């Protein structure tokens, strides 16, 4: 399977299950309505696990432009392959977001709050402060990429077959500890791809897509991923 194909399938699964759990918790008449933040973070962690196990053997299952950027900086992939990863990640995000709309089709019209509908697609800040929101995304993504690099070291967990579970638990940890301020996008494709589909899809009763905030979950994770890769190279030059 090609890099583009694997990243498309993996990211589609990630967004379907990840944004799907948000829809389950937020939309009216869902059986999981009001089940809370722990359900959302656990669902996202399991979404990562499923996606990584599904396509990891084909592309490494980056599923995230920040992870791809970090891998290019550390030498894990060739720079020439980064466009293939980015394309697959965004295509997958478009597909996954569309499938969430279909799966919860009858629930959009029964949910009055347009903000809840946007939250099923993209992140938003609890307290809107662009500088601090960006810093929060940088910190969360730094933890993600640095830990992935460390876990991939053969002296740690690199030789095991449990990478998908380990990374899923990592995402759960980040969500529980650092997700409060911004909803922890930590992934440009995860946020921008579904936000674009929110703007395009005929979602019943939707509101604006909050484009004024949209740059933060793109720029913050890319900076965080790059800093994490540089830090890993500096701290563990022989790894």
Q: What is the model's pLDDT at position 237?
A: 80
| Cβ contact 144:170 at 8 Å | yes
What is the spatial distance between Cα 138 and Cα 58, in angstroms, rounded to a whole number? 28
Task: Give the Cα separation of 175 and 66 in Å (integer).
Answer: 17
Angle at 26 between CA 20 and CA 31, to 5 degrees: 75
pLDDT at residue 121, rounded to an integer: 98
pLDDT at 78: 97
Q: Is the pLDDT of residue 66 over 90?
A: yes
* Phi, psi values for residue 185, rounded to 5°: -65, -55
The pLDDT tens digits of the residues spanning 143-188 come to: 999 999 998 775 555 556 788 999 999 999 999 999 999 999 999 9
Report the chain's mean pLDDT, rounded to a whole number: 95
Whole-model pTM above 0.75?
Answer: yes
pLDDT in tens, 219-233: 999 999 999 999 999
Provide the CATH number for the domain formed by 3-234 in this structure.
1.20.1080.10
- What local confidence, expressed as pLDDT, does residue 157 receive? 55
14 Cβ contact partners less than 8 Å away, ≥ 6 residues apart: 47, 48, 50, 51, 63, 92, 96, 190
* pLDDT of the residue at 236: 83
In the predicted structure, residue 84 carries a pLDDT above the cut 80: yes
Mean pLDDT within 87-104 = 98
């Amino acid at each position: 399977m090609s890099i583009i194909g694997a990243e498309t399938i993996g990211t589609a699964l990630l967004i379907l299950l990840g944004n799907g759990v948000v829809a389950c918790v937020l939309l009216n008449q869902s059986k999981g309505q009001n089940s809370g933040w722990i359900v959302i973070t656990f669902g996202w962690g399991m979404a990562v696990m499923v996606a990584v196990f599904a396509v990891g053997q084909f592309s490494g299952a980056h599923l995230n432009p920040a992870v791809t950027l970090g891998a290019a900086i550390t030498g894990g992939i060739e720079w020439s392959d980064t466009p293939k990863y980015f394309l697959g990640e965004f295509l997958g995000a478009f597909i996954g977001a569309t499938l969430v709309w279909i799966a919860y089709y009858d629930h959009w019209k029964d949910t009055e709050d347009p903000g809840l509908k946007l939250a099923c697609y993209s992140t938003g800040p609890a307290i809107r402060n662009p500088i601090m929101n960006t810093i929060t995304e940088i910190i969360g993504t730094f933890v993600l990429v640095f830990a992935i690099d460390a876990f991939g070291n053969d002296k740690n967990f690199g030789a095991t077959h449990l990478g998908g579970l380990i990374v899923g638990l990592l995402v759960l940890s980040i969500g529980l500890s650092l997700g409060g301020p911004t909803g922890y996008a930590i992934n440009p494709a995860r946020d921008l791809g579904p936000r674009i589909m929110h703007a395009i899809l005929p979602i019943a009763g939707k509101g604006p897509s909050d484009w004024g905030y949209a740059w933060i979950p793109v720029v913050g994770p890319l900076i965080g991923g790059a800093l994490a890769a540089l830090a890993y190279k500096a701290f563990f030059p022989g790894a």
